[in-house]
């Protein structure tokens, strides 16, 4: 990086680009949380809604990783134009899809589904160019400025979230159209900017050496996740997907003759619990808390996002004082406490107090991890920096969302089973367990994790003729189960906590955590 003063227009254009990704994420998530749209208008069940949510998450990984492989060739500006065009196209598809849903629901479903794919590709491309651009122009303070940059994500959630909630009964076409505003703004701002040469390119590090930082190990993780997602969305092609994904990992390993940096492999694996703790919870939180509050549950997401936005803006002194790994250790502790408290909180005051803890915990996870990757694997350039974001989004779409859903289903069954002590409903609970006739055994991850799910219609039939109090007791147990499942989700930040402590001890043995610079012969 030269001694030239970083372009403010370039930074703030990147910032608004990230705001746009949040606009697309939250407006579409709120849309899919509206039963009047998903159930009444489109006729989707909960599983299908989950698939529609997933399609706007996992393709993010495809674009961010693929563009990271070629971005030094095609240029940051090309990637920026592709991203803005994708987000605008999604807005058009979503609006048109809803406008024809009454007369042609199948076309509407296709437009909303594939539009989500295009949105995800655009959002991934945003991160593919903004992360290396900011890491390059602020190469001496990467973690600080990546945290400030990523204040744009919660900032977008706040702005769009409040707008959608306050718009109330306005049409969903109007709400989805909000994405056009920031998309056009950053396109106009950045089209005139001169983008920098990436740090890795400027230092003369070869393309092969960049790929070697990622190596076969990183490629294998991506290949497994991609296989799981493709097989889930397009079943019946297991052999073809396995060959395609496996061949890609092997080819990269052969080309680079590298397994990848061990530290990079650990950071890649950490992105699964990290992304699930932040993005997975954010994606479910409105639905999870809907039965626990009398106000729009989206306000909880907006509130936690305000905290994230403010803290990330002032990340510099915090990062400087605590250093990245101690900051992440503290964040894990706060996230664990927040999720556990939120699982049992009742009343507005306690719910927002618990949400505060959770927000304080998740604030620095994502950008600080990007900072560590950029500081510890500078030879990896845009690829290593962006691949962790891509893998995180892919992992939460493939693994995180389904697992959170399974936790909720399992908790619903256990809550109904606990009614044996207070309610006498013949055939509902037998020997402390919900009757097998009322359960459907399901599994995720190719049968590696089994979980029971209540048969809703069968439970309703069983309750026919029961007293009002009994029906309300069962309904209350079912409605409150999703919130209680948040306690089980503390497993994700707990895994992270243990790993970060081990990494802290590892760096301490080496003399302490220090960013690597290419001029130092980083390897």
What is the per-residue pLDDT across 38-79, written as a single tens digit (0 to 9) for each?
888 888 876 678 778 878 877 888 888 888 888 878 889 999
> Is position 450 within any domain?
yes
Q: CATH number of the domain that 30 lies in?
A: 1.20.1250.20
Whole-number pLDDT of residue 107: 94
Could you give the CA distance from residue 77 to residue 467 in angstroms, rounded to a whole number?
66
> Is position 203 within any domain?
no
The region of weakest confidence among 18-32, 251-265, 298-312, 442-456 is: 442-456
Strand locations in 71-140, DSSP E? none
Instruction: Please identify, among 196, 215, 235, the residue that sits at the C-terminal boundary of a domain.
Output: 196
User: 434 is in which domain, residue-wise?
Assistant: 408-474
Give the pLDDT band (50/70/90) at residue 2: very low
Instruction: Please identify, among 142, 162, 196, the residue that sits at the C-terminal boundary of a domain.
Output: 196
> Is position 268 within any domain?
no
> Is position 70 within any domain?
yes
Q: What's the average model confidence in pLDDT over 237-256?
A: 91
> Is position 292 within any domain?
no
Could you give the CA distance from residue 76 to residue 67 in angstroms, rounded to a whole number?
9
Instruction: Give the bridge partners for 429, in sequence order.
Output: 434
- pLDDT tens-place string over residues 472-483: 788 777 777 778
- Res. 1: pLDDT tops 50: no
Whole-number pLDDT of residue 4: 57
Whole-structure pTM value: 0.81
Instruction: Please identify, among 134, 163, 196, the residue that sits at the C-terminal boundary of a domain.
Output: 196
Q: What's the average model confidence in pLDDT over 452-468?
A: 80
Q: What's the average model confidence in pLDDT over 414-430?
A: 73
CB–CB of 118/89 below 8 Å? yes
Q: What's the average model confidence in pLDDT over 469-494?
A: 83
Q: What's the average model confidence in pLDDT over 406-413?
A: 83
Whole-number pLDDT of residue 205: 81
> Is position 247 within any domain?
no
Q: What does each C-alpha distance from 41 to 95, 102, 244, 291, 392 come to in angstroms? A: 14, 7, 38, 22, 32
> Is position 127 within any domain?
yes
Whole-number pLDDT of residue 106: 92
Could you give the 3-state DSSP secondary structure of residue 198?
Answer: coil
Q: What's the average model confidence in pLDDT over 367-373?
A: 91
- Res. 520: pLDDT tops 70: no
What is the separation, in whole angstroms, between the first and last Cα of the chain?
Answer: 19
> Is position 96 within any domain?
yes
- Res. 381: pLDDT tops 50: yes
Give the pLDDT band (50/70/90) at residue 334: very high
- Res. 442: pLDDT tops 90: no
Could you give the CA distance from residue 298 to residue 162 in angstroms, rounded to a whole number?
8
As for how many domains the chain has, the answer is: 2
* Average pLDDT over all residues of the chain: 86
- Res. 134: pLDDT tops 60: yes
Percent of the chain's residues with pLDDT above 70:
96
């Amino acid at each position: 990086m030269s001694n030239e003063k970083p372009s403010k227009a370039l930074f703030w254009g990147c910032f608004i680009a990230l705001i746009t990704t949040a606009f697309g994420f939250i407006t579409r998530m709120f849309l899919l949380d509206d039963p009047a749209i998903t159930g009444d208008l489109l006729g989707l069940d909960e599983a299908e809604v989950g698939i529609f949510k997933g399609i706007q998450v996992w393709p993010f990984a495809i674009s961010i990783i693929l563009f990271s492989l070629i971005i030094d060739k095609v240029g940051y500006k090309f990637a920026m134009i592709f991203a803005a065009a994708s987000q605008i196209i999604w807005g058009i598809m979503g609006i048109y899809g809803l406008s024809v849903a009454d007369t042609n629901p199948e076309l509407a479903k296709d437009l909303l589904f594939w539009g989500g794919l295009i949105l995800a590709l655009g959002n991934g491309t945003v991160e593919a160019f903004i992360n290396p651009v900011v890491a390059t122009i602020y190469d001496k303070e990467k973690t600080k400025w990546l945290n400030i940059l990523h204040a744009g994500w919660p900032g977008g959630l706040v702005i769009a979230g409040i707008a959608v909630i306050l718009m109330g009964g306005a049409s969903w076409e109007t709400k989805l159209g909000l994405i056009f505003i920031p998309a056009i703004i950053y396109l106009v701002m950045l089209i005139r900017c001169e983008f920098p040469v990436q740090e890795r390119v400027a230092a003369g590090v070869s393309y092969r050496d960049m790929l070697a930082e990622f190596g076969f190990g990183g490629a294998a993780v991506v290949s497994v996740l991609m296989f799981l997602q493709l097989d889930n969305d397009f079943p019946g092609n297991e052999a073809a997907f396995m060959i395609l994904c496996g061949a890609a990992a092997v080819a990269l390993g052969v080309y680079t003759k590298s397994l990848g940096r061990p530290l990079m492999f650990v950071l890649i694996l950490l992105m699964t619990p990290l992304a699930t703790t932040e993005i997975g919870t954010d994606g479910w939180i409105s639905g999870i808390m809907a039965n626990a509050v009398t106000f729009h549950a989206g306000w909880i997401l907006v509130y936690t996002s305000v905290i994230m936005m403010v803290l990330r803006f002032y990340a510099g002194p915090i990062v400087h004082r605590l250093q990245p790994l101690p900051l992440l250790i503290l964040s894990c502790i706060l996230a664990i406490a927040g999720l556990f408290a939120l699982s049992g909180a009742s009343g507005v005051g306690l719910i927002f107090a618990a949400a505060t803890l959770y927000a304080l915990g998740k604030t620095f996870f994502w950008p600080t991890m990007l900072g560590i990757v950029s500081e510890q694997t500078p030879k990896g350039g845009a690829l290593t920096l962006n691949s962790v974001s891509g893998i995180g989004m892919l992992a939460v779409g493939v693994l995180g969302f389904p697992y959170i859903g399974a936790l909720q289903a399992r908790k619903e069954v256990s809550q109904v089973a606990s009614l044996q002590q207070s309610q006498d409903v013949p055939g509902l609970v037998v020997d402390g367990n919900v009757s097998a006739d009322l359960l459907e055994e399901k599994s995720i991850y190719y049968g590696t994790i089994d979980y029971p799910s209540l048969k809703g219609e069968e439970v309703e039939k069983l309750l026919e003729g029961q007293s009002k109090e009994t029906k309300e007791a069962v309904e209350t147990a079912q409605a409150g189960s999703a919130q209680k499942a948040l306690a089980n989700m503390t497993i994700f930040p707990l895994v992270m906590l243990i790993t970060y402590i081990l990494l802290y001890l590892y760096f301490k043995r080496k003399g302490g955590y220090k960013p690597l610079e290419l001029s130092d012969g980083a390897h």
